[in-house]
Structure 1
Amino acid sequence: MYEQHFPHKRYKETLAFLEKHVPKDQALLDLGVENPLTKLLKKNDYQIENTKGEDLDLDFSSVKNSSAEVVTAFEIFEHLIAPFNVLREIKADKLVASIPLRLWFSPAYRSKTDPWDRHYHEFEDWQFDWLLEKAGWKIIDSKKWTNPVNKIGIRPLLRKITPRYYMVYAERIS
């Protein structure tokens, strides 16, 4: 067995969490366009298809037309104005989703150059849990982890001890 290099700690954490809950023979629909994490999951034998870049606040066609057994949503719900709507439209019975957590010492992320790369929401864990529950999902497992940076200062120190990411495995409530 070889040691796999991960460009980000969250990739390593995401892959481990997915392997814990989702067999590799189950088809995945990932909300969001193909990205480096998608490529990593394919490299690790996951059958994954991505949405096409449509506005998931308004267009649910990829979700409605998918026959995937599992939907994944890695750091996308914070970009949506109304994530509740797409969560209700998912046909799959399993969901693996991650979000960046709201940090009290840092403002919500907003790109100065890309008008689409902004966080409309940065959730606390209980808020995300409530959103999933109201949308018809039961959380089976969850995990949080930090995102340390190699810098000196108060914020970098806080990033070493404050969880930044939150991931859940949930199943549809009948």
Structure 2
Amino acid sequence: MYENNFPHKRFKITLEFLEKHISKTDHILDLGVENPFSKIMKTAGYKVQNTTGIDLDDDVSEIKNFKGEVVTAFEIFEHLVSPYTSLKAIPCDKCVISVPLKLWFSSAYRNKNDIRDQHYHEFEPWQLDYVLEKAGWKVMDREKFTNPVKKLGIRPLLRKFTDRYYLVYCERVNK
């Protein structure tokens, strides 16, 4: 159904995972400003609102004040110094999160011109699982996947078979 309709393989996999776990009648708060994937969720029939671009390390009020059923965070937690604060603030009982995995052959993304556009963390799966558990969440389903790039070289070749993203569906176990 989704073949060739997405600019990135990760969008297709992420939407299929979301559809597996989240009802289209649920209201979703997607952490981060509106982006290509939040537009894909809306096109797929989800009711989505985004945070306004506030620094979620310093201000979690938009998360705490959300009145819906689900929070999503797709490639956002690697930009935060402390994802724990945002995870702990989520008022609902379901969340779907994806993060980039730490690659042994590539250093974390860094943008020297924009301090907010860099990765403070690139995770190993156990690290995200740990912070989720500490914040009161239980991982109910998980998926790791590759994201090949259309370039030549050793690193692009390694990206064809090395998992790059970690995607989880979680439910709240305690507040």
Pairwise TM-score range, normalised by the shorter structure? over 0.9
| Number of residue-to-residue matches in the alignment | 174
The two structures have a TM-score, normalised by structure 2, of 0.96
Partner Cα distance (1:80, 1:62) in 2: 16
Deviation string 1:52-90 (CA, Å, 9 cap, x unpaired) is: 101101101101111010000000000000110111010
- Give the match for residue 88 of structure 1: 88
Deviation at 1:2, TM superposition (A): 7.5
- Give the match for residue 118 of structure 1: 118
Deviation at 1:137, TM superposition (A): 0.2
Partner Cα distance (2:80, 2:116) in 1: 10
Listed as ranges, the gaps of 5+ residues in structure 1 are none
- Give the match for residue 47 of structure 1: 47
- Report the 3-state secondary structure (helix = DSSP H, G, I; strand = E; otherwise coil) of the residue aligned with 1:6: coil
Deviation string 1:120-149 (CA, Å, 9 cap, x unpaired) is: 001100111111011100000000110111
Listed as ranges, the gaps of 5+ residues in structure 2 are none
Deviation at 1:4, TM superposition (A): 5.6
CA contact (8 A) 2:2 2:12 kept: no
Please list, as runs of the form range in 1=range in 2, the aligned pairs for 1:10-159 lying within 5 A after superposition.
10-159=10-159
Partner Cα distance (2:147, 2:21) in 1: 23
Q: Percent identity at matched positions?
A: 62
Could you list the runs of 4 or more consecutive aligned residues of structure 1 that deviate by over 6 angstroms after TM superposition? none
The two structures have a TM-score, normalised by structure 1, of 0.96
AA of the residue aligned to 2:16: A
AA of the residue aligned to 1:79: H
Deviation at 1:113, TM superposition (A): 3.2
Partner Cα distance (2:127, 2:119) in 1: 15
Deviation at 1:25, TM superposition (A): 0.3
Partner Cα distance (1:82, 1:54) in 2: 14
